[in-house]
Structure 1
Amino acid sequence: MATSIKDVAREAGVSIATVSRVLNDIDVVNEDTKKKVLEAIKKLGYRPNIVARSLKTQKTKTVGILVPDISSGFYPEIVRGAEDVANIYDYNVILCNSDFDIEKEKEYLRVLKEKMVDGVIYMSSSLQEETLEIINELNLTTVLVETKDKEESLPSVTIDNIKAVKEATEYLLNKGMKKIAFAGAKRDNMNAWRDRYIGYENALKENGISIDEDLIYAEGLKVKSGYEAVQHFESSKKDYDAVVCASDEIAMGVINALRDNGKRVPEDVSVIGFNDNIMSSVFYPKITTVKQPSYDMGSVAMRMLIKLLNKKEVEESQFVLDYLLVERDSCKK
């Protein structure tokens, strides 16, 4: 038979109301009494009924984390940072993987609301207007990670993606490369990946280089997309001496395809990635990339969300973390 709150009260020699106050972290209980209750809970192995508790407190101490691709080398580290902070504050986590599917994202937001989560950390493949309307309609306390919405109405944790890719492209330009291709995701979405294309575009324009559409491939962030990008560049018969990639997975596909087309990296073509996932440092050649502080992005976002849920002041609602250009072996020295 399951242990009840009455059993805990009897074991601790207190009232059921006192046990309830301890469980809900209400400060009116003195430390000695709280200690007795916590010892009774541990001894009896009592686990409170979250649903019943939430009906009274209107809180489940549960948050949702929505990611576009859990198989990526980037997002798991964000989740880990968020979950570590959630554990410190006794919050549970429900993880949802949208597979870069907008309809799936919208459905997961509704499911998380039905599960009575207190709030959501949202990594979106596209911040479309209708998605933002669903968040508002469901009254979901939400913190964005990696991407910010156009009006900056939702709190976010990001890096400056435009500046980061502009710097990465200029790094190649400063090495004398002028025919630089780009491999990334669709440019019409309102997200970080679009900003990476804008950074590439800005760098070329500011250096007096016109954009060549034949040297742009924006169809996805995975290895397959990188491989297809090189096939696209090769079929155009245009010369190119470098490729800026919107993810490290793309960079890996690009390098493999270049090798299959008889081109050497970095001797013939330099390649630069983005994110600095674990594979980028062991791939051959080791990939020069823009490092995002993924663990910190998750932990900062969760701290921000928990503050919002507990009606505490958030010092900065649009939190921009630093990035780092990591030089390795995939670009000419």
Structure 2
Amino acid sequence: MNPTIKDVARHANVSIATVSRILNSTSAGYSEKTKKLVMEAVEELGYKPNAVARGLKNTKTQTIGVLFPDISGMVSSELLHGIEKVAHSLGHSVIVCNTASQGEKTLDYLKLLSEKRVEGILFASEEITDEYYEAIKEMNVPAVLVSTKSHKHPLPYVKVDDRDASYAAASYLINKGHEKIGMISGIKEDPIAGSPRIDGFKAAMRDQLGNESPIVVSAQGFSYEDGLTMFEKLMEAAPETTAIFAASDEMAIGAMASAYRMNIKVPEDISVIGYDNLKISEMAIPPLTTLSQPLREMGETAAELLFEALKTGGTTQSIIMPHQIIERESVKVLQ
């Protein structure tokens, strides 16, 4: 059984109130000798104060909440790694909520985080609706968006410029000599990772090749399975395609698997570039050329902005993170 504050008081031969004042760093009501006795008792008994109970008195729980639309996704995993690194270094715990991109579930989690008295919110990879924004405002805690942004609501964010990044990915294929390029996108109406990436791809095709209507096939997500099925659809619609830009690494690897099943060789017959630079892109056969988002650094930076807001009580500036092409072996140079 875990020792209690009563056990510590008994062991140090002081009152419970004295133990409480010492553990909560109240400056009055005890001597240095008494403090030493209590801290020795804490160490000898292995007593660990309940963070939530302590927070109810101090109005601080040293806890932040993080909301992801899909905690099992590799992008979420990388972001969370960066967030936890910063939070734990500052002595804070992280409550992770998997919203599954469902509005009602997201609101339920925001209510739960409010009840848990979290000190701040990190909201990842999902669009901020009016309902979400109002729920966060009612909590009266700072919030930072990561891998998403809101044009309507004044919340700071940390992300790459998806339109510019997609423009760069398409330009890379064009510079390698490809002109018959198709795109496998996520949900085209998605304002975060859907339409901006499509817009960037189309802009590059228009500006550099004069192609006003390049082929884009849109899935209902960004998964391996989406890439698997959309590759077949794209090749049926445009069999002359020599290169594909996929809106995520998982989709790109799904497309490569589909190509293998269809006896289409990568990159000899068709080139593929992904988006994210997840660990699996290095493991693919052939290793996947991709547009890199610094996901762990984005998680770290978003957490740092949140703790800065907690410290100062003010607002912080949004940050656009750099992207870059990571060259591997899935793109062929056409002569």
Q: Could you state the TM-score of these two structures normalised by the residue count of structure 2?
A: 0.87
Aligned AA (2:149) = K
Provide, for residues 95-130 of structure 1, a one-character-per-residue CA deviation record: whole Å limited to 9, x for no partner. Answer: 122233343323222222222222221113333333
Q: Does the CA-based 8 Å contact 2:157-2:318 persist in structure 1?
A: yes
Query: Measured at CA, do residues 200 and 42 of structure 1 come closer, stay the same or move farther in structure 2, by a change above 3 Å?
Result: farther
Query: Measured at CA, do residues 30 and 285 of structure 1 come closer, stay the same or move farther in structure 2, by a change above 3 Å?
Result: farther
Alpha-carbon distance in structure 2 between the residues aligned to 1:303 and 1:88: 11
Query: Measured at CA, do residues 67 and 272 of structure 1 come closer, stay the same or move farther in structure 2, by a change above 3 Å?
Result: same
Query: Measured at CA, do residues 36 and 250 of structure 1 come closer, stay the same or move farther in structure 2, by a change above 3 Å?
Result: farther
Shift of 1:204: 1.7
Equivalent residue, structure 2, for 1:176: 177
Shift of 1:272: 0.6
Aligned AA (1:321) = M
The RMSD of aligned alpha carbons is 2.8
Equivalent residue, structure 2, for 1:120: 121
Equivalent residue, structure 2, for 1:221: 222
Unaligned stretches of 5+ residues in structure 2: none
Query: Measured at CA, do residues 127 and 152 of structure 1 come closer, stay the same or move farther in structure 2, by a change above 3 Å?
Result: closer
Alpha-carbon distance in structure 1 between the residues aligned to 2:25 and 2:155: 28
Unaligned stretches of 5+ residues in structure 1: none
Equivalent residue, structure 2, for 1:211: 213
Q: Does the CA-based 8 Å contact 1:102-1:126 persist in structure 2?
A: no
Aligned length: 331
Equivalent residue, structure 1, for 2:69: 68
Q: Please state whether the residue corresponding to 1:126 is helix, strand or coil.
A: coil
Q: Does the CA-based 8 Å contact 2:22-2:35 persist in structure 1?
A: yes
Query: Measured at CA, do residues 88 and 32 of structure 1 come closer, stay the same or move farther in structure 2, by a change above 3 Å?
Result: farther
Query: Measured at CA, do residues 149 and 40 of structure 1 come closer, stay the same or move farther in structure 2, by a change above 3 Å?
Result: farther
Equivalent residue, structure 2, for 1:329: 329
- Percent identity among equivalent residues? 37
Shift of 1:225: 0.5
Q: Please state whether the residue corresponding to 1:74 is helix, strand or coil.
A: helix
Query: Measured at CA, do residues 231 and 319 of structure 1 come closer, stay the same or move farther in structure 2, by a change above 3 Å?
Result: same
Stretch of structure 1 that moved more, 119-128 or 262-271: 119-128
Shift of 1:277: 1.0
Q: Could you state the TM-score of these two structures normalised by the residue count of structure 1?
A: 0.87
1:240-259 pair list within 5 angstroms? 240-259=241-260
Alpha-carbon distance in structure 2 between the residues aligned to 1:194 and 1:26: 54
Alpha-carbon distance in structure 2 between the residues aligned to 1:30 and 1:102: 54
Q: Does 1:317 align with 2:317?
A: yes
Equivalent residue, structure 1, for 2:147: 146
Alpha-carbon distance in structure 2 between the residues aligned to 1:46 and 1:183: 55
Provide, for residues 221-274 of structure 1, a one-character-per-residue CA deviation record: whole Å limited to 9, x for no partner. Answer: 000110111121133245322111111100011111122223221122211111
